[in-house]
Structure 1
Amino acid sequence: MNIEEGLIDIICFFEELFVDYGMNAVAAQYLNLLINLVVLTLIVLGINYLIKNFIIEGFKLFTNKTKTTLDDFLIKSNFPRYVGRFLPLFVVYKLFPLIFSEFPEVLEIFYKLVEIYVIILIVWICRSVLRSTRNYLKTREEFNDKPLESFSQIIMIFIWIIGLMFIFSTLFNRSVLGFAISLGAASAVILLIFKDTILGLVASIQVSVNDIVRIGDWITFEKFGADGTVTEINLATVRVQNWDNTFTTIPTYSLISDSFQNWRGMQESPGRRIKRSVYIKQNSVKFLTSEEIDRLKKIKLIAPYLENRQAEIDKYNESNGTDKSLLINGRNQTNLGIFRKYADSYLHEHSAVHKEMYIIVRHMAPTANGIPLEILCFSKDKRWENFEYISADIFDHLIAAIPYFDLKLFEAPSGDDIRSFLERKSEI
């Protein structure tokens, strides 16, 4: 007698016993079936208990002794539990046909359910391995700025598609290839239903391949009111933590369909650009007399420049016999030109300004608000709070220095200015 025959004898034991005691054969058959199902359930629960308390706990003890953290993430994603489910499934697969040997219709359904369960179990195991790998890579510094969430979701979608194809081919008794061909005929409907998911999938691939956005990038997306750091990139959305600590969710597809600003280039460059203007009142610009130039020579930063420049101008005017009874004749220096040189020298001396990058002080086209004098330079420190401090320090100094050159800043008149003007006018 082999093992299978012995199992059949055990399974039919209660049926034969009940018949011997005079029970109806059909009733004895169904009661025996019920007892066998209860016994099978207890066996499965016992195996699950052993797996949970010995195999899984043993795997945990093993992972605690290893140096790598990948196995720790496998524990957290229930990888041992999913693998352990194959053992009770194997027991059920072997015993169930023997219990239902007289019910072929039930067995046909059973085999299909087992195949579907195995497919789902394999998908769960793949998902567990994928999540563990993703979480492990997040702990590695070289992957901190990579959209691992998006990659894992893309792979998981393909795994589920393959799994669903096998499930449907099992349910309808068709080959996977035949099911895939019939699925192609319904592609238009599928594209319509899963339009957003497909767009997100394409966008995620393009964002990753073209390196458009990384985790940790500072982006500005005015359409969605986003201005802050990218904290997460997944298949459907990009999550941005704004500078006021609020969060903005942006559709991933918008990163390739709309325009936004990525500040990564500034963060990777040696310095961060300062570009601001001060507006000079046009009627405060004038030619300087010798006495005024001598007074400005006391300013240390431009003293050598004034000496050399004035000597050059005087030599030119003398050689050309220029009548200097009027300042406009010949070559002359202006207070705005000297202030522009002072601002340039100040920037070159400032310790926080990057000397190997552009330092430009230039006139812009005059406007109704005066003459814009634009300051263009780069700060060495790119951190936002320090950058703002450096910018403020530079312009605090330049604004305070303007009166020393007999220049005036343009400022729109306030209510107090108008009131003072009217009071003076009434006194006259």
Structure 2
Amino acid sequence: MEAIQSLLIGWDITPTIAKYLALSIMVLLIGIICIIANILSKKVVIRLITHYVTQSKFPRASIVLKRKVFDKLSHIVPAIIMYYFSATLPAYQMVIEKGAVTYILVVGLMVVSALLTTVNDIYQTYDISKIKPIKGYIQVVNIVVMILGGILVISNLMGENPLILLSGIGALSAVLMLVFRDSLLGLVAGIQLAANDMVRVGDWIEMPKYGANGNIIDISLNTVSVQNFDKTITSVPSYALISDSFINWRGMESSGGRRIKRSILIDTNSITLCTETMLEKYKQIHYLKDVITDTEKEIADYNTKFEKYEENRVNGRSLTNIGVFRTYINQYLKHHPGINQNMTLLVRQLPPSEHGLPIEIYAFTNDIKWDVYESIQSDIFDHLLAVVHEFELKVFQNPSGNDIKDLLSETKKKTVRYKSVG
């Protein structure tokens, strides 16, 4: 700048004006150089890097471009130029240097943050990321880097040693613990969740306390995001998965079977002992012919031990229509193509109640897809509800408005008939 000022004075310009003109010219030159350097770095260097990355044999390298790591890095170039040219402006050298260093530190933090995000993005392209996510750890590292970067920026502006500021953090530890409470709890929870393989991205979890019932789409430092089946998103605190109970349906999905646990309520008034006519009718059912024949032989052998059986059927064993129906359901499920035959299959009676006698099906489908599971379950109960009357049984249901209306109508007819006879 002194050379420019001397040149201006040589042109018969007063020293005061020459001083300010020299300063303006120097600032303008530095600005032009910074603009040219910025254009070169963005239009030339960045384009060359982009071309090299896109042509490389590593497809994941494009993620670096997506996060604009090199674009952010290019912003450092003008600041470096300003830093080295600050010596030409002695009166403002310290201010320019501090400003340039601060800018470089801020841009550097942005670059580091983008790099950490890039590392997580690249890691997520591997299958292991669903089992061992690292997003929480990346966020912790990012927070630490930002804190250290903030200390460096403040120490640079204050002109103090960063270690002096670091020594003062001890006095603020209680405040920091309060500010970063969720982050610290999330970090500990994330380590435990990963170590014990409690949840993964894609797991179906159910947590009624937080209204979560769906698939995990993201596991971060502080929250676990769950996409519910109605497409809403529920955010559950990471530490809640450690401190509270939840259901993870991964076991069901990995087993290859989905449970059916549903009952048919039978009217107990329709339960009766089977007659010969009923048994002959049941033998015409494909799944029951051999079973009934074998059971009849077993019952006949048993009843020969009791002489009084001929006097009253109560004294011996007999087939019942509810028992035959239960056997039919069991055989029907054993031959059903949608039922997993390698898993538990039960047809059982539950304790009778005021709603009748529950006949419960406890079985597993061989497909875990929701729509397929519901289709198989519906087909089974459609069939059973349609054939239950073939066994002289009635399904229990509470009286409806039409039932009461018919009952009143029938009562009215009987009353009129009674009066006419009287």
Counterpart selection for 2:198 from 191, 201, 212? 212
For the 8 Å contact 2:216–2:226, the answer to whether it is kept is yes
1:12 CA displacement:
1.7
Cα root mean square deviation, aligned:
2.3
For the 8 Å contact 2:82–2:100, the answer to whether it is kept is no
Where does 1:24-423 land on structure 2 (aligned, <5 Å)? 24-97=14-87, 99-101=88-90, 103=91, 106-144=92-130, 147-423=133-409
1:293 CA displacement:
2.1
Q: Deviations over 1:316-355 (max 9, x none)?
A: 1112323333221112222112211111111111011000
Counterpart selection for 2:7 from 2, 7, 17? 17
CA distance in 2, matches of 1:248, 1:339: 45
1:226 CA displacement:
3.0
For the 8 Å contact 2:207–2:246, the answer to whether it is kept is yes
Identity over aligned pairs, percent: 33
CA distance in 2, matches of 1:209, 1:109: 50
- Assess, with a 3 A threshold, how the Cα gap between structure 1 residues 350 and 222 changes in structure 2: closer, same or farther: same
Q: Deviations over 1:378-410 (max 9, x none)?
A: 101110000000001111112222212212111
Q: Could you state the TM-score of these two structures normalised by the residue count of structure 1?
A: 0.89
Question: Comparing 391-400 with 164-173, which one deviates more in the overlay?
Answer: 164-173
- Secondary structure of the 2:309 match is coil
- Secondary structure of the 1:235 match is coil
CA distance in 2, matches of 1:148, 1:386: 34
Q: Deviations over 1:281-302 (max 9, x none)?
A: 1222222233322322222212
For the 8 Å contact 1:279–1:410, the answer to whether it is kept is yes
Q: Which amino acid aligns with 2:280?
A: D
For the 8 Å contact 2:137–2:187, the answer to whether it is kept is no
What does residue 420 of structure 2 align with? none
- Secondary structure of the 2:318 match is coil
List runs of 5+ in structure 1 lacking aligned partners.
Answer: 1-10
Q: Which amino acid aligns with 1:100?
A: L
1:52 CA displacement:
1.2
Provide the aligned length of Structure 1 versus Structure 2.
414
Q: Which amino acid aligns with 1:219?
A: I
For the 8 Å contact 1:218–1:263, the answer to whether it is kept is yes
What does residue 7 of structure 1 align with? none
1:36 CA displacement:
0.6
CA distance in 1, matches of 2:2, 2:93: 17
For the 8 Å contact 1:287–1:328, the answer to whether it is kept is no
Q: Deviations over 1:367-387 (max 9, x none)?
A: 111111110111011100000
Q: Could you state the TM-score of these two structures normalised by the residue count of structure 2?
A: 0.90
- Secondary structure of the 1:164 match is helix
CA distance in 2, matches of 1:165, 1:264: 45
For the 8 Å contact 1:352–1:381, the answer to whether it is kept is yes
1:146 CA displacement:
5.3
